[in-house]
Structure 1
Amino acid sequence: MMRRFTICICLSFLFCLSAVATAADRKPTTTLDVWPGAAPGEVGAVGPEHFVDAKPGEREVKRLTNVSHPTLTVFRPDPAKDTGAAVVICPGGGYHILAWDLEGEEVAAWLNSIGVTGIVLKYRVPRREGTPDNQSPAQPLMDAQRALKVVRSKASEWGIDPHRIGMLGFSAGGHLTAAAATRSDESTYPQTDGIDKQSARPDFAVLVYPGGMDKKDDPANPIAHVTSQAPPMFLAHAGDDKVSPLNSVDMYAALKKAGVPAELHVFATGGHGFGLRPSADPCSTWPKRCEEWLRVMKFIPKADAAK
């Protein structure tokens, strides 16, 4: 049993290492604007978008801040592998920054490897220079809802099934994904064009170490908005994460109570912000568990059917 577990960890390590290397080499198929003009709901002065230097002791991550021009960066899989499914990716960063490579480009590379179009959403981070630090994440939800509508409007052009468009988020991006999944019936901005007639509901959602859902009295807590209309969800968290795994546990409980299909993995170790990068921790196996879930839920074909 121990040998089997060790082999699984080694394979996951090699897979994650391959995904990271692939992300460094991949070029996006296309990048397009989320909004036809200026993004709505801006508050305060916004400086130029830029990458923040890592602080001493921090891992090497491309940290993007001051986003004022939301975009969708599209990575298409090999046509021979393409399953027709797509995922909008929401990098984390505490609503301060976006972990652009760790929780964006590298995730798109993994999705491409299983035949899924990966679309990295550059959404606005409300906690930035010139804005109140306690500002609610209203702009990110606007960007997420619009992004899903834009992708759905491009389904025919991109060869995507409009009924297999999901969303995947990490940390604050996990909170944003949960909000988009549970509040899709709310109009968070004035309708701008024909694209806004599309549905803003993701067909499935993947939350990896999400935060912000342990605030029971917060009316914006996505858990408070869970109904039977929420999409199926996959959740992954580390038990030793400083962002409590109860964020994921409580969401899972709410989904089950509402009769929504869900799968939860709480790994013993891994901390916070592990993304897909290789480690000896069992949390590195979450992409494989997620792939299995996507196949079981029929969002992508079973492995033997995909060959």
Structure 2
Amino acid sequence: MIRTLTTLFVLINFLLVLPVAGQESVVNVWPGDPPAWEAPEGAEADTTGPDGRQVAGRDVIRLGNVSTPQLYLYPAKDSETTVVICPGGGYSILAWDLEGTEIAEWFQKHGVSAAVLKYRVPTRNQSPRWKAPVQDIQRSVSMIRSGVFESLPSEHVGVLGFSAGGNATAHAATATERLYDAIDERDEASPVPDFAALIYAAYLNEGGKESMELADGLTVSKDTPPMFFAHAFDDRINCLGPIALFSKLKQNGIASALHVFSTGGHGFGGRDTGEAKDAWLSLCLAWMKDQQWVD
């Protein structure tokens, strides 16, 4: 009986330390405190309530009060590209599984390494609200590109973001400078991603939903990396924002791809619902292959 209980205890402890669904490890983005910001007083927690939103019949993990940015690594065998994934959540929370870990697992399964970025929130009431998350993205890109992670390829580093995470991704891709002072040798590597994928990205246009003017802080030049867009026509976040950014990329000769699906609404993630928008992940991967970031 004692031997049986001992074996069971060892087995339970072994299972508790197993990585989740191919995830290799979790690392802090900053070696100490992140750049100055208005940090929340409460502890990080899943804020999903009993009446929380469901997508494809399943709940969505809503992480709130994130003060310690971290990268969750999902390496893929023989991969040449790493995609940094930024969940959405209105700069208030992070839709952690729907727009984070589930997407990383999909890319990993299809031979592309991924890293889910748990960036700082909430920043919705800060000005600009995207600054702290963009700092976290820039630091993550520099870390991966510097080769600090042996399991993640540094040859091609892209960023993929949803909703507010897509907004932060757009700012990271169009930034003309690093938004924090370099702190170590990791920051000697460029913080600019090789490409960006914006999935129902929010807050891209200025002056109202119907505006074709880019939001403050977004500028496109011939040095801006290529972008992939996926949006739904019936999204409450008007698709004219991504279209406005795409048009600027076109004017500057930046090879990009734009997909606006007739239905899908907002916040569908990568879960299948039988609609045409379910194809966006495969379309994104095909685009990456066309650009020779994926073999």
Task: Name the TM-score, length of structure 1 as normaliser.
Answer: 0.82
Residue number in structure 1 paired with 2:7: none
Task: Return the match for 2:140 from 127, 142, 147.
Answer: 147
Q: Distance in 2 between matches of 1:197 and 1:298?
A: 25
Specify the SS of the correspondent of 1:157.
Answer: coil
Q: Distance in 1 between matches of 2:42 and 2:172?
A: 27
Task: Return the match for 1:182 from 169, 174, 182.
Answer: 174
Q: CA deviation at 1:136?
A: 2.2
> 1:91-170 to 2 correspondence within 5 Å?
91-127=87-123, 132=125, 136-154=129-147, 157-158=150-151, 160=153, 162-170=154-162
Structure 1: gaps spanning 5 or more residues: 1-23, 302-307
Q: Are 2:240 and 1:246 equivalent residues in the alignment?
A: yes
Q: Is the 8 A contact 1:235 1:265 kept in 2?
A: yes
Residue number in structure 2 paired with 1:31: 26
Identity of paired residues, percent? Answer: 40
Residue number in structure 1 paired with 2:68: 69
- The residue type paired with residue 141 of structure 1 is V
Q: Is the 8 A contact 2:204 2:214 kept in 1?
A: no
Q: Are 2:47 and 1:52 equivalent residues in the alignment?
A: yes
Q: CA deviation at 1:281?
A: 1.2
Task: Return the match for 1:273 from 235, 255, 267.
Answer: 267
Q: Distance in 1 between matches of 2:271 and 2:73?
A: 21
Residue number in structure 1 paired with 2:216: 219
Q: CA deviation at 1:75?
A: 0.7
Structure (1/2) with the larger helix percentage: 1
Specify the SS of the correspondent of 2:205.
Answer: coil
Q: Is the 8 A contact 1:32 1:73 kept in 2?
A: yes
Specify the SS of the correspondent of 2:230.
Answer: strand
- The residue type paired with residue 134 of structure 2 is L
Q: CA deviation at 1:55?
A: 5.9
Residue number in structure 1 paired with 2:201: 210
Q: Distance in 1 between matches of 2:134 and 2:264?
A: 28
Q: CA deviation at 1:217?
A: 7.1
Q: Is the 8 A contact 2:66 2:121 kept in 1?
A: yes
Q: CA deviation at 1:57?
A: 5.8
Q: Is the 8 A contact 1:126 1:135 kept in 2?
A: no
Specify the SS of the correspondent of 1:158.
Answer: coil
Q: Are 2:230 and 1:236 equivalent residues in the alignment?
A: yes
Residues 74-110 of structure 1 show CA distances to partners (whole Å, capped at 9, x for unaligned) of 0112x2xx32211000000010101100000000011
Task: Name the TM-score, length of structure 2 as normaliser.
Answer: 0.86
Aligned pair in 2 of structure 1 residues 169, 217: CA closer, same or farther (>3 Å)?
A: closer
Specify the SS of the correspondent of 2:73.
Answer: strand
Q: Is the 8 A contact 1:163 1:203 kept in 2?
A: no
**Deviating 4+ runs (over 4 angstroms):** none
- The residue type paired with residue 203 of structure 1 is D
- The residue type paired with residue 274 of structure 1 is F
Q: CA deviation at 1:30?
A: 1.1
Q: Distance in 2 between matches of 1:191 and 1:270?
A: 41
Residues 162-189 of structure 1 show CA distances to partners (whole Å, capped at 9, x for unaligned) of 3311110000011111111110x31211
- The residue type paired with residue 108 of structure 1 is A
Q: Are 2:164 and 1:172 equivalent residues in the alignment?
A: yes
